[in-house]
Structure formats: C-alpha cells, structure tokens
Amino acid sequence: MTRKLTMRWHLRQLMAAKGMFATTDLVDPLHERGIEISRQMVHRIVTKPPQRINTDLLAALCDILDCTPSDLLELHVEQQRQAPAVNDGGPGIGDLRPVRARVRRPDGTTE
C-alpha cells in the first residue's frame, strides 16, 4: 500500500461561514491589509486549491476570516492499493522465446 498526501482547501467554506458568498468580497479586505492581487487571482484562489501560497496572503486570509492556517488547509492522507499486474501468474514477456519457423513449399516439401 502507498500513501498519497493531498491538501484540502477550505477557503470557500470559511468565507460562507462569515457571510462572504462572492469572490469579490475578499478584494477590499485584502487591499486594506496591503495585498494587491487582481480580481481574477482572487477568484482562482477561492475556487481552486492553490499549488503555492504567499505567506503574507495566507496571514491576511486568516486575519480576514478570523481563523488559523490549519482551518484553511487540511492535510488528507489516502491509502492506495497497488493495482495487481495484468498478467500475474503467467510468463512475462522476458520468459517468452521465439519458435523456429518451418518453411514449406507448395508441393509439401520442407527446406
């Protein structure tokens, strides 16, 4: 079994809990805290989990939403089973050997 680690992003849920339902509701509070990002970037941050996040932005979001970074980000561990090999139990491609061919003439004799 292998472990797959992912981060779950709860910004949308925390915004809803504070009565903020539009992504643009974050633009002015972020601007007040010195974070200058476009409306499009705010929309991306709210709707999709970011691959990287600036610590100043994370601190501003925590201040606006009155939460901690662990409220925004949740570590999620999944146990994944390895798929069995398609040809378990049979010979692998490395175990196969070619078979000598016999050439037959139309009259039935062989070389």
* Choice between 100 and 47, residue whose per-residue pLDDT is larger: 47
Distance between CA 34 and CA 10 in Å, rounded? 23
Let me know: does 3 contact 80? Beta carbons within 8 Å.
yes
Alpha helical stretches, state H, the chain? 11-17, 27-32, 39-47, 55-65, 69-72
Q: 46-82, pLDDT tens digit by residue?
A: 999 999 999 999 999 999 999 999 999 998 888 877 7
* Choice between 105 and 59, residue whose per-residue pLDDT is larger: 59
Q: What is the mean pLDDT of residues 22-41?
A: 93
Domains of the chain are 2-78 (1.10.260)
pLDDT-based confidence at 99, cuts 50/70/90?
A: confident
pLDDT at 66: 95
Q: Would the pTM of this model clear 0.85, i.e. be above it?
A: no
Spatial CA neighbour of 13 closest among 41, 47, 58: 47
